[in-house]
């Protein structure tokens, strides 16, 4: 039976979900946060050690400014309101990506959240924010060149944002698209990929359990026949 160490999720379909209900894209993002909470609770029950959410990509800066501000305000307000529960539930928050271009208030709330949760061990929740896998790999090579390190697979992995984490066993993408969208291109080389037509706000704990059950029973060949 396959062991679960790390689940990565591309949360696609929030905007379409909101528009289908004639309430706008931001309404979909708001409901998407509720789904994140449900999946985190399900992950705790399933004893999944690490879960990564693709929250905001480097390409997402092309979205309307109002939508971007709404997304960042959602993150800020969530951690202001829920930080005590996050700590109480033993959840450690990590950030994957470059946060240097974020506002002072967002950077401060993220920094405070990392500090307050750094000793928690029940579940690691990675938030990929201003994340792009091509930039991540490029930055790894820049570090290796600067340190005059030998270029090996191991050294590249050690210089990625995920350097202290195992690669994902599973990648889940909601929303009907069958692509990786510049997400963890290096880390997902041998992951099992699950693409769902269901939009992210409709995804739930039962969906996650079904995927976990399927994963535990499949034969993994890691590129071999």
Can you give the pLDDT at residue 126?
98
Mean pLDDT value across residues 175-202: 98
Q: What are phi and psi of 51, to 5 degrees?
A: -135, 135
Q: How confident is the model at residue 219 (pLDDT cuts 50, 70, 90)?
A: confident
Residue positions annotated with a catalytic role: 12, 60
**How do residues 137-146 score in pLDDT, each as one tens digit?**
999 999 999 9
Pairing of strands 91-96, 123-131: parallel
Q: What are phi and psi of 209, to 5 degrees?
A: -60, -40
Can you give the pLDDT at residue 225?
55
Distances (CA, A) of 126 to 96, 143, 221: 7, 22, 27
The answer to whether residue 152 scores a pLDDT higher than 60 is: yes
- Distance in angstroms (rounded) separating the CA atoms of residues 90 and 53: 18
The answer to whether residue 176 scores a pLDDT higher than 60 is: yes
pLDDT averaged over every residue in the chain:
96
The answer to whether residue 182 scores a pLDDT higher than 80 is: yes
Closest CA to 78 of 117, 115, 106, 41: 106
Q: What are phi and psi of 109, to 5 degrees?
A: -65, -35
- Locate all alpha helices (DSSP H) within 1-151, ordered by sequence: 14-20, 25-46, 65-88, 104-117, 133-146
The answer to whether residue 221 scores a pLDDT higher than 80 is: no
Can you give the pLDDT at residue 1?
86
Q: What percent of the chain has pLDDT over 90?
A: 96
Q: How confident is the model at residue 220 (pLDDT cuts 50, 70, 90)?
A: confident
Question: Torsion over CA of 203, 208, 214 and 215, rounded to 10 degrees?
Answer: 120
DSSP characters for 143-171?
HHHHTT----HHHHHHTSTTTTSPPPSEE
Can you give the pLDDT at residue 214?
96
**How do residues 22-78 score in pLDDT, each as one tens digit?**
999 999 999 999 999 999 999 999 999 999 999 999 999 999 999 999 999 999 999
Q: How confident is the model at residue 223 (pLDDT cuts 50, 70, 90)?
A: low
Tokens linked to 78:
């969530």
> In this structure, what DSSP letter does residue 102 have?
S
Closest CA to 211 of 154, 170, 183: 170
The answer to whether residue 222 scores a pLDDT higher than 90 is: no
Identify whether the C-beta of residue 127 lies closer than 8 Å to the C-beta of residue 109: no
> In this structure, what DSSP letter does residue 201 have?
G
Distances (CA, A) of 71 to 23, 56, 83, 111, 224: 16, 9, 18, 18, 42
The answer to whether residue 18 scores a pLDDT higher than 90 is: yes
Across the beta sheet with 6-10, the strand order is: 91-96, 123-131, 50-57, 6-10, 170-173, 192-195
Identify whether the C-beta of residue 211 lies closer than 8 Å to the C-beta of residue 194: yes
Closest CA to 139 of 156, 127, 152: 156
List of domains in the chain: 6-217 (3.40.1180.10)
Identify whether the C-beta of residue 170 lies closer than 8 Å to the C-beta of residue 191: yes
Mean pLDDT value across residues 179-202: 98
């Amino acid at each position: 039976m396959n062991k679960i160490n790390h689940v990565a999720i591309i949360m696609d379909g929030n905007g379409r979900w909101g528009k289908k209900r004639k309430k706008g894209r931001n309404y979909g993002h708001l409901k998407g946060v509720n789904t994140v909470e449900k999946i985190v609770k399900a992950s705790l029950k399933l004893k999944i050690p690490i879960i990564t959410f693709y929250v905001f990509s480097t390409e997402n800066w092309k979205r309307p400014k109002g939508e971007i501000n709404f997304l960042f305000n959602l993150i800020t307000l969530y951690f202001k309101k829920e930080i005590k529960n996050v700590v109480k539930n033993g959840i450690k928050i990590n950030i994957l990506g470059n946060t240097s271009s974020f506002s002072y208030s967002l950077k401060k709330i993220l920094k405070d959240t990392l500090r307050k949760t750094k000793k928690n061990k029940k579940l690691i929740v990675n938030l990929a924010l201003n994340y792009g896998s091509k930039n991540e790999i490029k930055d790894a090579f820049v570090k290796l060149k600067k340190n005059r390190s030998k270029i090996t697979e191991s050294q590249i992995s050690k210089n990625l944002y995920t350097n202290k984490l195992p690669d994902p066993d599973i990648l889940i993408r909601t929303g009907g698209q069958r692509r990786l969208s510049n997400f963890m291109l290096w880390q997902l080389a041998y992951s099992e990929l699950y693409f769902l037509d269901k939009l992210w706000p409709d995804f739930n704990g039962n969906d996650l359990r079904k995927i976990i059950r399927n994963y535990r029973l499949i034969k993994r060949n890691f590129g071999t026949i």
